[in-house]
């Protein structure tokens, strides 16, 4: 083979080999989910139960979780300032307070009320919380005291 032929050969190896390799390695992502129809979609449906089964499994998991469990997930954003056990740090200690104490204070912050000198910090924290989030978090924080 001449030098020219070898580089032509190598070029084709990459030009054909790389896309083939890519397709095999990205079963779903590579073809993008929109391109995953026919057999590809059936395979995916068989493996996962399909879109509806996934959605209902997620809804079931949420329905089974107790408020305190849901609150634990929502509290993850509070740990940096209030501690994993509510012992306080940047923010005041929450341990020892009742759920309704906590809920009442969160509602005040959410309404933009000033409680202490650093209330502005909590305005932004509570802005993204739903009423359910605040109730769940309050249940979870109350559970610190009984540990």
User: Interface residues with ligand HEC (CB under 6 A)?
Assistant: 77-78, 80-82, 90-92, 94, 102, 105-106, 115-119, 121-122, 125, 129, 137
From 135, 146, 141, select the one nearest 85 (Cα to Cα). 141
Least distance CB 107 / ligand HEC (angstroms): 10
Q: Which two tokens stand for residue 51?
A: 């879109």
Q: How far apart are CA 88 and CA 100, in angstroms?
A: 18
- How buried is 145 (Cβ within 10 angstroms: 0-12 exposed, 13-18 middle, 19+ buried)? middle
Q: How far apart are CA 104 and CA 98, in angstroms?
A: 10
Q: Kindly report the length of the chain.
A: 147
Q: Which one, 65 or 121, has the nearer CB to ligand HEC?
A: 121
Q: Which one, 36 or 133, has the nearer CB to ligand HEC?
A: 133
Q: How far apart are CA 144 and CA 29, in angstroms?
A: 43
Least distance CB 73 / ligand HEC (angstroms): 11
Least distance CB 91 / ligand HEC (angstroms): 3
Least distance CB 131 / ligand HEC (angstroms): 13
Q: Which one, 36 or 137, has the nearer CB to ligand HEC?
A: 137
Q: Which residue is nearest to ligand HEC (CB)?
A: 116
Least distance CB 138 / ligand HEC (angstroms): 8
Backbone angles phi and psi of 126, in degrees to 5: -85, -15
Q: Which one, 70 or 78, has the nearer CB to ligand HEC?
A: 78
């Amino acid at each position: 083979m001449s030098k020219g032929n070898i580089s032509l050969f190598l070029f084709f190896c990459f030009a054909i080999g790389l896309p083939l390799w890519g397709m095999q390695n990205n079963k779903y992502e590579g073809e993008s989910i929109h391109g995953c129809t026919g057999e590809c979609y059936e395979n995916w449906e068989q493996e996962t139960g399909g879109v509806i089964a996934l959605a209902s499994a997620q809804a079931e998991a949420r329905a089974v979780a107790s408020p305190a469990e849901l609150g634990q997930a929502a509290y993850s954003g509070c740990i940096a300032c209030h501690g994993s056990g509510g012992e306080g740090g940047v923010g005041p200690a929450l341990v020892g307070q009742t759920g309704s104490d906590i809920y009442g204070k969160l509602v005040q912050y959410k309404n933009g009320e000033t409680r202490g000198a650093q209330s502005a910090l909590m305005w932004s924290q509570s802005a993204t919380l739903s009423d359910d989030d605040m109730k769940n978090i309050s249940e979870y924080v109350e559970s610190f005291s009984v540990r």
